[in-house]
Amino acid sequence: MKKLAIPFLLGLAAAAALPAHAAAPTTAPLKFDRKAYSIEHKKFVLPNGLTLLVHTDHSVPVVGVNMWYHVGSRNEKRGKTGFAHLFEHFFFNGSENYPHGFREAMDDLGANNRNGTTNTDRTNFFEDVPVSALERTLFLESDRMGFLGNYISKEMLERERGVVQNEKRQGENQPYGRVWQEISAKMYPYSHPYSWSPIGSMEDLQAASLEDIKEWYRTYYGPNNAVISLAGDITPERALELVNKYFGAIPPGPALPRTEKWIPQLDRNIRDEMEDQVPQVRIYRAWHASTWKDADTARLNLLAGVLAGSKSARLTKRLVYDKGLATSVSAGVNDAELGSTFNLIVTVKPGADPMEVEREMERVLAELLDKGPTDAELKRVKTSDLADFSRSLERLGGFGGRSDVLAESMTYGGKPDAYLDRLEVFATSSPQDVKLAANRWLRANHYTMTVRPAPKLAATKSTIDRKVLPSLGDAPEVKFPVLQRAQLKNGLKVVLLERHSAPIFNVALALDAGAASDSAAKAGAASLALDLLDKGTKTRDAFALSDALENLGARLSTGTGQDMSYVRLQGTSANLAPSLALMAEAALSPSFPQDQFALSKSRRIAQIGQEKAQPNSLAMRLVPSVLYGAEHAYGKPASGYEGSVQGLNREDLAAWHATWFKPGSATIVVAGDTTMDKLLPALEASFGKWQQGAAPGKQMAVVPPTQGKRLILVDKPNAPQSTIVATHVSQAYGQPEDLAMEPVMANFGGIATSRLNRNLRLDKHWSYGTQARLTEVRGQRPFIVIAPVQTDKTIEAMREVQKELRGVAGERPLVGTEYESIMRNVTARLPGRFSTLDALESAGLSTVNLGLADDYWNKYASNVRALTPQQLGTASSKFIKPDEVVWMVIGDLRKIEAGVRSLGWGEVSVVDADGKPIR
């Protein structure tokens, strides 16, 4: 944690000893003696842009050399991180004119206090050298500034890349070593240059090329982007002579744009947890704060000293000494050019509750924000920190030494004595100044990371033979509630499936209508009418109805299948009766308000456009008319056509509702926590006034077997995939083989390892996923295969689909291990199939729609388990007819049409998205 470095103010008396939070008398503004802290210096700027700072001190025959380059990880880009730090390593490998290594050279001339570092904003190199070695040192520094690029080799890149990667591993291997990279990534936006660590990512380091590195060097390491600071036994004149001699001829680099400030704001508090190999829980909390230049940064450092850093500091005293909750506390500002962070770090005492630690942290901070620090607290912090920095100024070079202070001020502050401005703010800030700064920054959202010791885990000794696969036990019995039936006085049928595991219920009002009730001219009317049922009644508008439902914890929804239309209610058992009353109001007395009708109509037309744009949904729009004809009850999409929807008015919907909403053609299916004794009175109260009657019968013409040997093409220019559809009309529901077709269809195209999916996705990788199904309708069911494949494999994939169709229809019977596998799959799924009320409701609705026996689902599991391979084969050949298949392909016809025609599978036609022939 970096704290603001500031010198001790000479002549300032030590603060009188006061209780930590005692009120201090108001004092006159503190004066600051800038002269007492001035580091005398001379500044020169060479013609090539290099800034030279010289501080003379003849006390010892040593010169602190400090080279600052204004480049850090903030200059990198996503995908090319870690360059600044990697280049710091290159600087120690020698240069064109001294190819022997910089470390070795410094050892040879007896340098002390030497290193190089990189952070977000700068890269610096420093060494304290005897006067006798200064000229050689400047030669070496200048040679790596101006003559390093051509010396960098592929071998050097590989070597230093490995060193840096190991440095990264070593850092992350330390306790709490991965914390700061997580904090940076979460506190800063993805595009912010502080969102990644200066050491970079392993992937980016590995991907760095030699040309990348050389371009980085040419851009950022020119003299115009550098400051050289010399402090010690050297005169300004001699320093300028030597620096001109060795640096003056180095050409400047390009002019560089430089962002001045970029301080994000968190839109919420963020919490993270991490497990690590650490001995204690540690809590990190961070806020965004002001920039290096901003006066608030100095004031926040004062606040940090009030909170932590000494035994009497508020947070340290509270957590470590008073409450015994922590073993250490620190606070500080990580000051940076674009914006800083204010950080609190607490190491929790073993056995203490981290949440209690956080609560105490927040209490202490809240009190400080509300009341501000005392004069006595600020005097203590100022005295201590100024003294610490004064001691650091004893050094000529290195971190915190005089050459370093001047170079930092020049680089970040734009002038060598910028540090004096920061010192003055620090030394003269009043309690009110600090309070205001703290409230400006620490009332904002913050980030908290809690690092916990990873549990000590170990595997037990195993005695099992892993070459032997454990056997499977018998599939558990499937329990399905008894299907109870009743009927209201008006003819409304009631089905109840009780389950009392939770105090909730599902209700579905199923009407014998559905999309099949639409005429071709008014296609979409049924589904649009259902959409509007919850948009207003004769006594409530859409918003009042929504509020009334929410007040009861209930939800209302609607839907339309081919055969039936649905109004669904979900609610809590305690509010059964009033929830049913609202459901009945919506279902039986809708107002079809004109504004909601207009909105729903425009949204429906947009929905149809979306369906036509998406290949799978477009296929499902076109298949019905291909199989049944546009006038058939099943021959149109449930959503309708643009033209039919555009022609609808609210009176059409009201008329549809009056025709098809009849109790004699409806069933209420209830699943959940109620009984028939409770349910029937509530239903009579809510639906009992529904006037008797039945809806008209739907004209469900029988269509002949599908005429195969047809291929329909739909152009989708530039599509990266072709969507292959294979379809024909199959058997109506009610066949003896219906149950056997369920495992057949699952194995053919209903699960991830189905025949179709294994062929086209798992084996050949031509598709992301395929499907095949027999749609569950009351009449003749459509058999449909949908296989999206990459465009260049369209013809090959069609051949594979045809092969699989012939296989499932009889050429490749479902027997042996394949039969055993799919039967294990379908039977193992049975216990969980009816685990939810939605599943029970769905089973009840299927019973109603398909006319299943009341005990169908109670016997379902045992009947499925009894299916034989012969039964599956009989069902397959009866339901799937490869020679009756109509093929449809949606894709880029420029690329696939010729190939499709070359198959010779029958008559080819090209249609538009509405199914109208083009050619």
Confidence of residue 18 (pLDDT cuts 50, 70, 90): very low
Confidence of residue 843 (pLDDT cuts 50, 70, 90): very high
Mean pLDDT in residue range 623-629: 96
Instruction: Quick: pLDDT tens for 212-260.
Output: 778 888 888 899 999 999 999 999 999 999 999 999 999 999 999 889 9
Tokens encoding 623: 């298949």
CA dihedral (35, 39, 42, 47) in degrees, to 10, reads -120
The yes-or-no verdict on residue 819 having pLDDT over 60 is yes
The yes-or-no verdict on residue 97 having pLDDT over 80 is yes
Of 385 and 673, more confident:
673
pLDDT at residue 167, as a whole number: 67
CA dist 885 and 873 (Å) reads 19
Of 810 and 203, more confident:
810
The yes-or-no verdict on residue 13 having pLDDT over 60 is no
Tokens encoding 857: 């689902």
CA dist 485 and 494 (Å) reads 6
Instruction: Please give the mean pLDDT across all residues of the chain.
Output: 90
Instruction: Quick: pLDDT tens for 740-756.
Output: 999 999 999 999 889 99
pLDDT at residue 88, as a whole number: 79
| Lowest mean pLDDT, pick from 187-201, 465-479, 540-554 | 465-479
The yes-or-no verdict on residue 881 having pLDDT over 70 is yes
151 burial level (CB within 10 Å; 0-12, 13-18, 19+): middle
Confidence of residue 662 (pLDDT cuts 50, 70, 90): very high
Tokens encoding 203: 């992937």
The yes-or-no verdict on residue 276 having pLDDT over 80 is yes
pLDDT at residue 9, as a whole number: 29
pLDDT at residue 660, as a whole number: 97
The sheet carrying 340-348 orders its strands as 270-276, 447-453, 282-289, 340-348, 326-334
pLDDT at residue 896, as a whole number: 97
The yes-or-no verdict on residue 19 having pLDDT over 80 is no
The yes-or-no verdict on residue 15 having pLDDT over 70 is no
The yes-or-no verdict on residue 908 having pLDDT over 90 is yes
Q: CB neighbours of 314 closer than 8 A, spacing ≥ 6?
A: 20, 21, 306, 307, 364, 367, 368, 377
Select from 127, 134, 115, 166 the least CA-distant residue to 61: 134
Q: CB neighbours of 671 closer than 8 A, spacing ≥ 6?
A: 496, 497, 499, 505, 506, 837, 840, 841, 844
The yes-or-no verdict on residue 30 having pLDDT over 80 is no
Mean pLDDT in residue range 86-113: 80
The yes-or-no verdict on residue 507 having pLDDT over 90 is yes
Confidence of residue 124 (pLDDT cuts 50, 70, 90): very high
pLDDT at residue 257, as a whole number: 87
The yes-or-no verdict on residue 28 having pLDDT over 60 is no
| Lowest mean pLDDT, pick from 38-52, 466-480, 525-539, 554-568 | 466-480
Distance separating the N- and C-terminal Cα atoms of the chain: 75
CA dist 409 and 38 (Å) reads 12
pLDDT at residue 169, as a whole number: 67
The yes-or-no verdict on residue 464 having pLDDT over 90 is no
The yes-or-no verdict on residue 847 having pLDDT over 50 is yes
8 A C-beta contact, residue 184 and residue 338: no
Selection from 58-72, 110-124, 356-370 with the highest mean pLDDT: 356-370
pLDDT at residue 81, as a whole number: 81
The yes-or-no verdict on residue 2 having pLDDT over 70 is no
pLDDT at residue 706, as a whole number: 96
8 A C-beta contact, residue 50 and residue 243: yes
Mean pLDDT in residue range 414-424: 94
Q: Please, what is the Cα angle at 103 between 102 and 106, to 5 degrees?
A: 85
The yes-or-no verdict on residue 372 having pLDDT over 50 is yes
pLDDT at residue 166, as a whole number: 67
The yes-or-no verdict on residue 202 having pLDDT over 80 is no
The yes-or-no verdict on residue 834 having pLDDT over 90 is no
pTM score, two decimals? Answer: 0.63
